Structure 1
């Protein structure tokens, strides 16, 4: 799959998530959509893919304000919280998060570790235990509880899970990657190991792997596997 085809698939995914018949990427494209999944309810959602952007607003008034304030801005600045806060009455922000995608020919599996990879069903009690061990913030960032694919795991030699990864089935044939490593097991390549297995599983099913991340460490794992950052996502709440 070419990078252009990947960009097209990513845009089609976010246009569907925008939940508006007139949703389209532009410079930027702004539409009114109270049911948009680009941001929490009643927030403004901004997604950039390539050199274009899609923005959803909960009301006509909010959409008009966004169009006026952001008209003419470079795409790269549309997901900069400082820029939007300076131009709009922003009361809160969420993100930005990088959006990275991968094609079959780009996947770079990591070197094998001494710990074999196993599988569990989504929602398994051991997966929930890993989320609890990692803490609410890290578990929420990982999205581990949203997995609908098999969960690829690495153990410590006993019953305890050290790392887990899988993906959630999103619209338009997208596979949204979810990865989590126990706090005391990080830096050992385990996230790459389980994420590589999950990514390969998604590719074998003809899906488009998507990696959304804010932490630098997560973005480094994605880059090491061959994911390319093609865009970003930012949500803002207007005061």
Structure 2
């Protein structure tokens, strides 16, 4: 089922321009390619991989020329399901691995946390310890790309820090020196206790203090992650579909 995207109206338009700039640089496009009122932007890329990016009222198609050409036969915007990109790929679909994430951005983030003086670690080792207690799918979604630093791991306070249990962790990686791509992971035995909100807010505010715009990506079906982002003040303004050519078809 195609879950509609919320109205991006509450999101600051100046910040939206900066987000667009970051995506242009990530996709190796001209800096002003998304600075447009058009509802569709096309970009012929250098590889067979495809990105369909919806940001507010604009849908970007970046990929090989055949994909850009095929997109012209499609109407409307890409939604959160895979109907649009599946139609774009047509009989090539079996050659590609498709990934889909909603994208949300921090605009007006508060500083209040519901835990007094939480025990926080900034060591990557505590995040790795947490990952060992989580499913492969959860770890893959939270840490599908490396986070070099900026770790905030909430530790249980019933032991010394060097042996404390890792309850939840948040971190981010910098993209184009503009965006902070957020990741959050919680021990499955300690969920629904507000731990993810604590570390998510700390990491988000750290990114803002560094002059970055926080970005939150979630699988559309991951309702809990999307609700958490909303509670933290993120505004969901789009969706990204990626179609990566499988190795046996290179």
- TM-score, reference length from structure 2: 0.80
List, as ranges, runs of 4+ consecutive aligned residues in structure 1 with deviation greater than 6 Å.
none
* DSSP 3-state at the match of 1:187: coil
Q: 1: CA distance between counterparts of 2:111 and 2:82?
A: 34
Q: Does 1:16 align with 2:25?
A: yes
2:68 and 2:185 mapped to 1: Cα distance? 36
Q: Which has the higher helix share?
A: 1
Q: Distance in 1 between matches of 2:31 and 2:152?
A: 39
Match of 1:48 in 2: 54
Count of aligned pairs between the two proteins:
224
Separation (CA, whole Å) in 2 of partners of 1:27 and 1:93: 26
Q: 1:115–1:156: 8 Å Cα contact kept in structure 2?
A: no
1:235 to 2:242 alignment:
yes
Q: Which residue of 1 aligns with 2:114?
A: 112
Pairwise CA distance, 1:63: 2.4
Is 1:133 the counterpart of 2:138 in the alignment? no
Assess if the C-alpha contact under 8 Å between 1:93 and 1:234 holds in 2: no
Q: Identify the residue that residue 6 of structure 2 maps to in structure 1.
A: none
Q: Which of 44, 57, 68 in structure 2 is aligned with 1:63?
A: 68
Conserved in 2, the CA contact under 8 Å of 1:7 and 1:230? Answer: no
CA distance in 1 between counterparts of 2:144 and 2:43 reads 31
Distance change (3 Å), C-alpha of 1:236 and 1:87: same
How far has the Cα of 1:117 moved from its partner? Answer: 3.8
CA positional deviation for 1:172:
4.1
Q: CA RMSD in A?
A: 2.5
Given that 1:101 and 1:227 are in contact with CA atoms closer than 8 Å, whether structure 2 keeps it comes out as: yes
Alignment CA distance shift 1:144-1:74 (3 Å): closer
Structure 1: gaps spanning 5 or more residues: 36-41
Relative to the length of structure 1, the TM-score reads 0.83
How big is the shift at 1:87?
Answer: 5.2
- Residue 199 (structure 1) aligns with: 204
Cα distance per residue 1:113-170 (max 9 Å; x no partner): 267141323xx22221211221221111112762233211111233110101111011
Contact 1:108-1:224 at 8 Å conserved across structures: no
For residue 154 of structure 1, give the secondary structure of its aligned residue in structure 2.
strand
1:139 to 1:49, Cα distance in 2 relative to 1, 3 A: same
